[in-house]
């Protein structure tokens, strides 16, 4: 299922960007393009606890896990407008973010990543928030 999600996101990005996007190299994208690209999913899993911080890695996908439901989560600020981040919750509990002003996520406590699910975010420099693709 995760491979299908990644393929769908990459396909949608290429479709939106047009044929020239398929010719770009990873270096081109890392050096300033805001293309939606996931690259590799981290092999390590970030174990989360309530009121913790999820690290944001540019143009990446990370795995997180919980022992139980966690709340008050903070997503580290992005580094450039259009930066994308996929978070894969591989644990048994839900991940609920803190209020927007604290969590850096535009919908704050309304943003919940269910157990064994994934969420995509885009950093918006103008608002200084991560914007979930499917709030």
Cβ–Cβ < 8 Å for 17, 37: no
- Report the 10 Å Cβ neighbour count for 105: 24
Q: Is the pLDDT at 96 greater than 90, yes or no?
A: yes
Q: 11 falls in which pLDDT band (50, 70, 90)? A: very low
| Cα separation, 119 vs 133, whole angstroms | 8
pLDDT of residue 28: 38
Q: Which of 23-27, 59-63, 112-116 has the lowest mean pLDDT?
A: 23-27
Q: Is the pLDDT at 13 greater than 90, yes or no?
A: no
pLDDT of residue 56: 87
- For all residues of the chain together, what is the average pLDDT? 79
Give the sheet arrangement for strand 70-75, strand by strand.
Answer: 53-54, 70-75, 95-97, 112-113
By DSSP bridging, strand 41-48 and strand 60-66 are parallel
Overall average pLDDT of the 102-113 stretch: 97
For the chain, domain boundaries: 2-132
pLDDT of residue 58: 54
Cβ–Cβ < 8 Å for 80, 30: no
Considering only residues 31 and 67, tell me which one the structure prediction assigns the higher pLDDT: 67
pLDDT of residue 117: 96
Cβ–Cβ < 8 Å for 6, 41: yes
Q: Is the pLDDT at 21 greater than 90, yes or no?
A: no
Considering only residues 41 and 86, tell me which one the structure prediction assigns the higher pLDDT: 86
């Amino acid at each position: 299922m995760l491979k299908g999600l990644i393929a769908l996101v990459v396909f949608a990005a290429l479709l939106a960007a047009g044929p020239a996007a398929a010719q770009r190299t990873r270096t081109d994208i890392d050096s300033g393009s805001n293309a939606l690209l996931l690259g590799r999913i981290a092999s390590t899993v970030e174990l989360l606890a309530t009121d913790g911080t999820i690290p944001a890695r540019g143009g990446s996908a990370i795995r997180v896990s919980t022992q139980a439901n966690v709340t008050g989560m903070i997503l580290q600020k992005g580094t450039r407008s259009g930066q994308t981040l996929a978070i894969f919750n591989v644990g048994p509990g839900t991940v609920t973010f803190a209020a927007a002003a604290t969590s850096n996520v535009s919908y704050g406590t309304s943003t919940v990543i269910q157990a064994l699910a994934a969420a995509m975010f885009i950093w918006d420099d103008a608002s200084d928030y991560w914007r979930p693709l499917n709030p």
